Structure 1
Amino acid sequence: MTGEIIIETVIIRDINKLSELETTWRNLIRNIEHPEIFDTWEWLQIYLKHMFEKQKQLFIVVVTDDDQAVAIAPLCIATIKLKWRKVKSLQCIISGTGESNNFYLHKEYHHVKLLKLLTSAILSHQTEWDWIDLYSFHSKNPNTSLIQQSFGGQCDMFINQLSLSPFMNLNADHENKFDKSRLKAIERKERKLCREHEVHIRIHEPNFERVWDRFTTLHKQRWPQSLFTEPRFINFFLEIIPTFQLNNTAHFSYIEIDGSIASVWLTFIHKSKAYMYITATSSQFAEYGVGLILTHRLVEHYSQNGISEIDFMAGNQEYKFYWLDKVKLNYHIRIISNIKGFKLLKLYTILQMNKLKIKSLLQKQTD
């Protein structure tokens, strides 16, 4: 940007004050690089309504230029109980919905300067928090490295890889990446299934009620600890899915066999990116691999309908790599101030983030 910039930084702590930011929040999200569906105003508001824990406190840092938001750090303060003390953790508001988190920076402004403003505001209130926990910041987003750089000189940084998320770039020469022998086997099983049963495959079924009950039932049958056993998750999805269906960006796709739904995918689309969000499949037709058949059909559909990227979400399940070989790494970044009095928390963090390595080392020494 050119010309004089009049910058103001404020911290939003009240949900009512946050509602006043809707227009400027939406404008900023339309002007960030690498936008995600989790950044949208709708996702935030529905999350706050159903998932946000009452004991947490909003701590949203907003940088404005002439009353327009140019940077937002969507944070909150959570109290964590350790064995010997309570810790106030500054962390992203949205957690537990498969999200990729981020600090939102206007694409036409200098990102390092914006991050310095956010960092300065956060550190000026460090009496209110003990450490910063940034979960699910991924390697594909340049902001992840810039955030580390911005805090690095004034704080100690501890980084742990949480998971990896396979993804497919459909603008690249992706077909050469396919495991063709696997995909041919899937296609043979689909032909066999169609010969032996009455089969209907529906891609982007608009009827929410037609699929929802069966989808959640299948998910609970497959995973006893299913998120659909928790009322807050159920209420969240009962609102988030119809909300995004209004603009044709949330979809159910399914395979129906002999009149019964046997496999379902819930997917979202945002800015030409498809999210393979949640799947559920009956064990009744396991010999045919009906889940793989539906996944293959969805990948074909997105490949032919203007989607530039397919995100298979966190998890390194083998089937995801039948179509791709690219991954992004999802990190947990813990930031602790360099001021005195935090040595024990730093030691605890080192042990916490390396407990698997330490356990493995101790086992080797006892063998």
Structure 2
Amino acid sequence: MDFKLHTLFPVDLEKEWNGLLAQSITHVPFLRFEYLQNWWQTRGGGEWPSDARLVIITAHKDDHLVGIAPLFHSQHDGKSALLFLGSIEISDYLDFIVRPGDLSTFIEGLLAFLTAHPDIPQWDMLDLYNLLDSSPSLDQLQQSVTAMGWSVTTAVTNHAPVINLPGDWEEYLASLDKKQRHELRRKIRRLEEAEVSSKWYIVEDENSLDEEIDHFLALMSQDPEKEAFLTEEMVTAMSGAIKTAFAQGYLQLSFLEIDGQKAAAYFNFNYDHHLWIYNSGLNRDFYSYSPGWVLLGYLLRWANENGRTKFDFMRGDEDYKYRFGAKDRFVHRVTISRQ
């Protein structure tokens, strides 16, 4: 494999990048070229300083792109570190972009390249966040790093619950605990039979997208923690992620309206036959109608009826995720130090 350092996003490789991702060990929207490029423009909504440096490593074999290490350099935990682009807070799953059959050769070559190339910033730590427990990178890194005599530690950092969908709404409901099934049906029926008008919809009109983004961010801001999270840089990052996903055809921005007012919203990625549940907002004036639960129920019905195979709640172990039938997975942090 021939390795190359990129200190700017290699726009000429965008199509190949996303094509390789579709065959990669971890196929998630957070690794798409356009998502990471948008993330980098604000350094993750201000999570990282402006002097962080791009360190994208590509590998080619016979003039074909076969591996990508989407990395950047910054100070982290008091050390000079290389991290995955997308780290840490707003990109739920990260990994190397490489086919399973090329993984071992790619990792071994990458580690040697990171050590030898003179233009790569000096680093003390390779700190890799948000690797799914299903990623073969976990075992391969352990093997390759140990063989080099370096130090490697792996730690679970978060829950990542997911629902495997049967493809049928009634079958999905039957899979739930009896109490939860009754509760979900009751809340949906209560709203639909109430003396208020209600509807839900998915945003499809590009001309209304800016306005709908504003509505979504306003709903998010009704939660004090999310209001603090939504700094100016974070608003820019999230708005960019929404517009990028819309342009590429994998945005699902949905709203529930009650009496003509926005009552709940979900920003999801509708990608690779999965729904990736990214963020949400609620109008406190309508809490008595449980708008978040009702809209989530509508989205689950939509996903089952439209051939989606997974409903991925992503990071976080909030109780409601399990009440909707999610099963646990975990994400890991791998820390590598040269000795």
Structure 1 letter corresponding to 2:133: S
| Residue pair 1:170, 1:308 contacting (<8 A) in 2 also | yes
Which residue of the partner structure matches residue 64 of structure 1?
A: 60
1:136 aligns with 2:130: yes
Mapping of 1:1-367 within 5 angstroms? Answer: 7-12=1-6, 14-15=7-8, 18-51=10-43, 53-80=49-76, 82=78, 87-95=79-87, 96-107=89-100, 109-124=101-116, 128-153=122-147, 154-170=149-165, 177-206=175-204, 207-226=208-227, 229-337=230-338, 339=339
3-state DSSP of counterpart to 1:221: coil
Counterpart CA distance in 2 for 1:47 and 1:280 is 21
Higher mean alpha-carbon deviation, 148-157 vs 127-136, is at 148-157
Cα offset for 1:240? 2.2
Structure 1 letter corresponding to 2:270: I
Counterpart CA distance in 2 for 1:122 and 1:48 is 21
Counterpart CA distance in 1 for 2:228 and 2:32 is 22
3-state DSSP of counterpart to 2:161: strand
Two-structure CA RMSD over aligned residues (Å): 2.3
Residues paired across the two proteins, number: 325
Counterpart CA distance in 2 for 1:256 and 1:51 is 34
Counterpart CA distance in 2 for 1:128 and 1:301 is 49
Higher-Rg structure is 1
Structure 2 letter corresponding to 1:35: H
Counterpart CA distance in 2 for 1:249 and 1:186 is 27
Unaligned runs of 5+ in 2: none
With the length of structure 2 as denominator, give the TM-score of the two structures: 0.87
Structure 2 letter corresponding to 1:66: D
3-state DSSP of counterpart to 1:243: helix
Unaligned runs of 5+ in 1: 1-6, 340-367
| Residue pair 1:138, 1:330 contacting (<8 A) in 2 also | yes
Counterpart CA distance in 1 for 2:18 and 2:187 is 45
Q: Which structure is higher in RCO with an 8 Å CA cutoff and minimum separation 6?
A: 2
Counterpart CA distance in 2 for 1:181 and 1:46 is 43
With the length of structure 1 as denominator, give the TM-score of the two structures: 0.81
Kindly provide the CA deviation profile for residues 150-174 of structure 1, in whole angstroms up to 9, marking residues without a partner as x. 2233221222221111011225986
Kindly provide the CA deviation profile for residues 79-98 of structure 1, in whole angstroms up to 9, marking residues without a partner as x. 2363xxxx211111212323
Sequence identity, in percent?
A: 22
